[in-house]
Structure 1
């Protein structure tokens, strides 16, 4: 596991993902809404399990996904 990911909480919000990836909130929200990783929607908010986010970070082709935003 990446040392930076150790400090992440078990459940992430799009804002936390944006900060971790150093991207704007709207791009992080677009990633979550696109179904790139499993998430839970509660009303208008999205919650992403830490393990799903970490698995997504390890996938090949990640750069292409981020460029397409």
Structure 2
């Protein structure tokens, strides 16, 4: 039992070292927006945002039954669609 626990602790240390060496941590990761974030930003209702998500060009990640929107890609999508009509 001790060997297993030791291995887990050791692996955690190795992973932590790898993250520190690569300069990757949670602060460096891209923010993912929620449906509510997009609602507030675009001043749209929940149903309209779900209609927006159905558009192929709209950036989204489906995790189980929920959607997350990569912030950088979302802002690029908004910028690329300024002045255009988005049909829902």
Aligned to 1:47: 68
Specify the structure having the higher radius of gyration (Cα): 2
| Change in CA separation of 1:64 and 1:15 when aligned onto 2, cut-off 3 Å | same
For residues 17-69 of structure 1, give each alpha carbon's deviation from its aligned partner in whole angstroms, at most 9, with x where no partner exists: 0111001011111111222322110111001100111001111455410xx22
Alignment length (residue pairs): 59
Aligned to 1:35: 56
Looking at structure 2, the residues matched to 63 and 26 of structure 1 have their Cα atoms a distance apart, in angstroms, of 20
RCO higher in structure (CA 8 A, sep ≥6): 1
Aligned to 2:44: 23
Preserved CA contact (<8 Å) 1:38 1:52:
yes
Looking at structure 2, the residues matched to 39 and 19 of structure 1 have their Cα atoms a distance apart, in angstroms, of 17
Aligned to 2:77: 56
CA RMSD of aligned residues (A): 1.9
Aligned to 2:31: 10
Q: Which runs of 5+ in 1 are unaligned?
A: 1-8
